[in-house]
């Protein structure tokens, strides 16, 4: 399983359009475009999970810098989410 970060998406990008783009390189298990929790508007980045690591690497190599919706995509392997310390509130 390859988890891929996709940045610099246009705010009008849909999960279907991103899925179609990545399916050129193999099986896509999941697409998640991150949205603002208050407005519901896309935040300009998302994640794609591809079943096969080599297909994921091919997609990263081919799609990084490719134009989609007038913007050059930033595509690379997603880094694991870091554990962050709790908020800075009062104790």
- CATH assignment at residue 53: 3.30.70.330
Looking at the DSSP bridge assignments, the partners of residue 77 are 4
Is 83 contained in some domain?
Answer: no
Q: What is residue 85's predicted lDDT score, i.e. its pLDDT?
A: 62
- For residue 15, is pLDDT > 80? yes
Nearest to 35 by CA among 19, 16, 14, 49: 14
Provide the domain count of the chain: 1
* pLDDT of the residue at 82: 74
Its domain, for residue 39, covers 2-77
Q: Is the pLDDT reported for residue 86 higher than 90?
A: no
For residue 57, being part of any structural domain is answered with: yes
What average pLDDT score do residues 61-88 get? 87
Let me know if residue 36 belongs to a domain.
yes
Residue 21 token pair: 């783009």
Residue 11 lies in a domain: yes
Please state the pTM of the whole predicted model.
0.85
């Amino acid at each position: 399983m390859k988890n891929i970060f996709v940045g610099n998406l246009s705010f009008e990008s849909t999960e279907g359009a991103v899925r179609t783009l990545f399916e050129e390189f193999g099986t896509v298990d999941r697409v998640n475009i991150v949205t603002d929790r208050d407005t519901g508007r896309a935040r300009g980045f998302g994640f794609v999970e591809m079943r096969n690591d080599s297909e994921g690497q091919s997609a990263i190599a081919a799609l990084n810098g490719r134009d989609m919706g007038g913007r050059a995509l930033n595509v690379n392997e997603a880094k694991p989410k870091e554990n962050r310390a709790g908020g800075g509130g009062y104790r």
